[in-house]
Amino acid sequence: MKYNILHVGCHNGDDEVYSFVSKNVQNIESVVLVDANPICIENSKKVYNSISNCTFECLAVLPVSVGGKSIDLHSPVGEEMSTVSSVIKDFVTTHSKDLNTDTFEAKTTTLKELILKYPKTNYLSVDTEGLDVLNLFSLDPKDYDNIKKVVFEFIHSDGTVSFGGLKLQSLLYYFNKLGFKKCYQEEFNIHCEK
């Protein structure tokens, strides 16, 4: 199988998806890396410099459209390349253990808009810092037709840190109905495969 990967929330690029890509480079057709933080995108370009057919998008991915408008995102104070940037201030302060945050402005899109822009996507990875489940629920069933694998960070599914509440259970039920029959956990991610 040739993989067309859409990695939403790629952070600094050096993560589980990069590991998969580097081990399967002969089977990678394209990789789209999306992150709201421009410094993370620049670092991801360096990490992926030896991988061909990569596209980089500097966008915040929201579960609902705000018409492409920019929004403010919170990040830990002084961490320019933070992997914990979110629209949810409490999410950031819980992780950083500091009630203060820095903010930066980011252009927005939705997961649906990205799937429409990259219709060959068959491997979807989502790490949108607290919005993962909402972003995945924002897609219509037909949007998953071509997708064979979904990976998402689950520990924020039902609150700042949660390990299996109703939202996560509902999403896994929905995925099962869409044909994702194999779901398993690896660290803080859930992998679902058709």
If one counts every other C-beta atom within 10 angstroms of the C-beta of residue 173, the result is: 10
Pair of tokens at residue 148: 């064979």
Q: What is the mean pLDDT of the chain?
A: 92
CA 42 – CA 98 distance, rounded (Å): 26
**Can you say whether residue 53 is alpha, beta or left, with left for phi > 0 and alpha for psi between -120 and 50 degrees?**
left
Q: What is the mean pLDDT of residues 51-80?
A: 93
DSSP per residue, 58-101: E-EEESS--TT--EEEEEETT-TT-S--BS-HHHHHHHHT-S-E
Give the start-end residues of each E strand in the chain.
3-8, 28-35, 54-58, 60-62, 71-76, 101-106, 108-110, 123-126, 149-153, 182-186, 189-193
Q: Please write the tens of the pLDDT for every residue from 131-145.
A: 999 999 999 999 999
Q: What is the DSSP letter of 9?
A: S
Contact 68, 82 (CB under 8 A): no
In the chain, where are the structural domains located? 3-65+108-193
CATH 2.60.210.10 given to domain 3-65+108-193: no
Indicate the pTM of the whole model. 0.93
Contact 156, 91 (CB under 8 A): yes
Q: What is the mean pLDDT of residues 121-134?
A: 94
Which among 45-59, 87-101, 156-170 has the top mean pLDDT? Answer: 45-59
pLDDT of residue 97 exceeding 90, the answer is no
